[in-house]
Amino acid sequence: MPAPLALPQDVLQRAARVSLLVLDVDGVLTDGRIVYADYGDELKFFDVQDGAGLVFWNRVGLRSAIITSRSSRLLKRRAKELRVDHLAQKCLLKLPAYEQLLKRLRVSGEQVCAIGDDLMDLPLLRRAGLAVAVSNAVDEVKAVAHYVTRRAGGRGAVREVVDIILRTKGLWDEVLQRYQ
């Protein structure tokens, strides 16, 4: 059994209630860089450990969603690879997509962990049971977060949060069993 996490009790209590992970993309699942190729293709850089974390999340029966203001074929492919349950793109205002998602899944905001980095994420973070800012988030996002990651967006921040939640919920041993 892993050692108890050295986090504030409030964060651990919030993490224990989470059943839905809601993510931003640019600056959270990626490092925020957007590279355009000569023919207009867009490139993004994803972290493999973040991806593994989402796979672990899915394997223990928890749900995930991405709500992003941009749109990308590349993101659609990555979300499918990681078996993200819900993908909402082109959401310049993210709150309507978030509220619709919660209604469709019949979950409360208290059951949501939202991870963001910029102003567009504030409405979701303010309504999430566990609001997380990546370490490179803007100050306004950090101010409303219950937890600020040690790792930066696109550099393992999502994995850090997934590990915290799975350990807090007592699901980490289930993840480890597959690899023993």
**Residues 132 and 145 sit within 8 Å (Cβ to Cβ):** yes
DSSP 84-103: -SEEE-S-SS-HHHHHHHHH
pLDDT digits (tens, 9 = 90+) for 137-146: 999 999 999 9
Residue among 100, 114, 102, 96 at smallest CA distance from 25: 114
Question: What is the pLDDT, as a whole number, of residue 180?
Answer: 85
Look at residue 50 and give its three-state secondary structure. helix
User: Average pLDDT for residues 15-26, to the nearest whole number?
Assistant: 96
Report domain extents, the chain: 9-175
Q: Please determine, for residue 39, whether its predicted confidence score (pLDDT) is greater than 80.
A: no
> Does an H or E element contain 133, and which?
strand 130-133
Cut 0.85: pTM above it:
yes
Structure confidence at residue 2 as a pLDDT band (50, 70, 90):
very low
CATH of domain 9-175: 3.40.50.1000
